[in-house]
Chains A and B, each alone.
Chain A
Amino acid sequence: MAVIAGVGGVAMSGATNPQLVPSETLITPCRLIDTRGPSDPVGGGVSQIGPVAGPLGSGSNTAVQVTGSTGNCRIPADATGVVMNVTVVGTGLSGSVRVNGFVTVVPANPAPNASNLNYSVGSGPTPNSVTVALSSTGQVRFLVSNGPVNLIADIAYGFNSIWALCTGTNRVIRVNATTNAIEASNISVGTSPNAVAVNANSVYVTNTGSNNVSRISPTTNTVAETIPLPAGAGPGEITRGADNSSLFGPSRDMWVVNGSGDSVSRITTGNATSAVTTFTAGIGTAPSSITFDGRNVWVGVTDAP
């Protein structure tokens, strides 16, 4: 039995051990806004995308409609939140920033005393991953403490799907969380799929029996890559880790606990072929669980060294 939280609240499944993950409907990354204009030094004569013209000044507080059609994005009306890669680009030479400041992204006013992205004088284009709920009307607001700066916001994915693992048949089922319809019922993965997590453009499934991770393309609902882990690893839980996005697109590391191998693996994503680094020092025995707090990875183990 697993607990899931999807659109509309929390539900419970009593099926024969499919693991259901509250998940994000993955979309092709799209640019919501780009406030740069043809005269800006970075971008090579780019044209403004979306409704916001830059650069943005100090104290600006700008609402942007997310649901519907904005910029290059087409976001479903029932989306309740989005994950974005937000980048500050300065107005100096090569896009350097001329002021110290921060950006806060919120569903609606008033904004909390917090920041999502910080920039400083002389820094180049500065990206960060931002997870934000949408307002009741499907908007977010971008608050800039000090300008002038330009903003780019790329949406990586919005919330809308459930991915169910069928351990006995080595396959994954994709369910539309809005319509409850099965969108893909026979995505073949490795042996004994154990856990699932999503990244900007892919869904990752750990396969305990075959010591690998299947990377599923949400566009084709097929396995785009099989990522090998060390022999005998016995991969279990997986989580999305630190942001390693660039101007070329959003991406985050994935982290896996290897219960049989007494190790933890970091999968560096974002390229055609993922890279795996496996850590054993200080792990102890039989790591069983993992989560990420936005900065560090936390691993539950049976016995610490």
Chain B
Amino acid sequence: MTGAVLRMGEDGAVLATINLGSPFAVPLDLVYDGSYIWAISPLVETTTRIDPIGNAISGNIDTGLGLGSGIFDGTSLWASNSGSDQVQRLRTS
């Protein structure tokens, strides 16, 4: 398992594949914040920021084990963490 994010067109064609670079980096959730795609990969304790303009990874945040589903509230990315029994807020700017 390497984990990847696919970009698809309306016609179902895969336009780009962004490999997340490490084994088990399977994204449990994807969130769009208006500018970037955020891939939450709990098995590698990382949330990855993908720039849609270049289809490239533009940052990684160490978010710990157990991060689950996320949501963007217009300012921040919020995600539940079952590993730490916390809700984490990530500043996306």
How many A-B pairs have beta carbons closer than 8 Å: the answer is 120
B32 and A292 contacting across the interface, CB-CB below 8 Å: yes
Residues of A with C-beta under 8 A to B2: 303-304
Any chain B CB within 8 A of the CB of A63? Answer: no
Chain-B contact segment, one of A2-10, A47-55, A90-98? A2-10
- Shortest C-beta distance, A303 to chain B (Å), equals 6
Q: Which one of B3, B29, B74, B79 contacts A302 once the chains associate, using CB atoms below 8 Å? A: B3
Residues of B with C-beta under 8 A to A281: 12-14
A:254-295 near B, CB below 8 Å: 264, 266, 277, 279, 281-284, 286-294
- Shortest C-beta distance, B7 to chain A (Å), equals 5
Smallest CB gap from A5: residue in B: B73
Any chain A CB within 8 A of the CB of B19? Answer: yes
B30 and A291 contacting across the interface, CB-CB below 8 Å: yes
Number of interface residues of B (CB under 8 A): 39
B12 and A5 contacting across the interface, CB-CB below 8 Å: no
Any chain B CB within 8 A of the CB of A66? Answer: no
A160 to B38, CA, bound (A): 25
Number of interface residues of A (CB under 8 A): 41
Residues of A with C-beta under 8 A to B1: 302-303
B7 and A300 contacting across the interface, CB-CB below 8 Å: no
Query: Which of A9, A19, A282 has most B Cβ within 10 Å?
Result: A282
B29 and A300 contacting across the interface, CB-CB below 8 Å: yes
B28 and A288 contacting across the interface, CB-CB below 8 Å: yes
Any chain A CB within 8 A of the CB of B87? Answer: yes
Prevailing SS type, chain B contact patch = strand
Any chain A CB within 8 A of the CB of B59? Answer: no
Residues of A with C-beta under 8 A to B8: 264, 279, 296-299
Q: Which one of A12, A282, A293, A300 contacts B3 once the chains associate, using CB atoms below 8 Å? A: A300
Query: Which of B8, B10, B26 has most A Cβ within 10 Å?
Result: B8
Any chain A CB within 8 A of the CB of B64? Answer: no
A282-B6, A301-B6 known; A293-B14 Cβ under 8 A? no
B:1-37 near A, CB below 8 Å: 1-10, 12-15, 17, 19, 26-32, 37
Q: Which one of A1, A4, A241 contacts B68 once the chains associate, using CB atoms below 8 Å? A: A1
Residues of A with C-beta under 8 A to B80: 1-3, 12
B6 and A3 contacting across the interface, CB-CB below 8 Å: no
Known: A19-B69, A284-B6. 7 other contacts (CB 8 A): A3-B70, A281-B13, A283-B14, A289-B39, A293-B52, A299-B6, A300-B26
The 19 listed contacts between A and B (C-beta, < 8 Å) are A1-B80, A3-B71, A3-B79, A5-B73, A19-B69, A253-B10, A266-B10, A279-B8, A283-B6, A289-B29, A289-B39, A291-B32, A293-B32, A296-B9, A296-B10, A298-B7, A298-B50, A299-B6, A301-B4
> A: which residues have CB within 8 A of B?
1-5, 9-10, 12, 19, 22, 133, 237, 241-242, 253, 264, 266, 277, 279, 281-284, 286-294, 296-304
> B: which residues have CB within 8 A of A?
1-10, 12-15, 17, 19, 26-32, 37, 39-40, 50, 52, 68-71, 73-74, 78-80, 82, 87
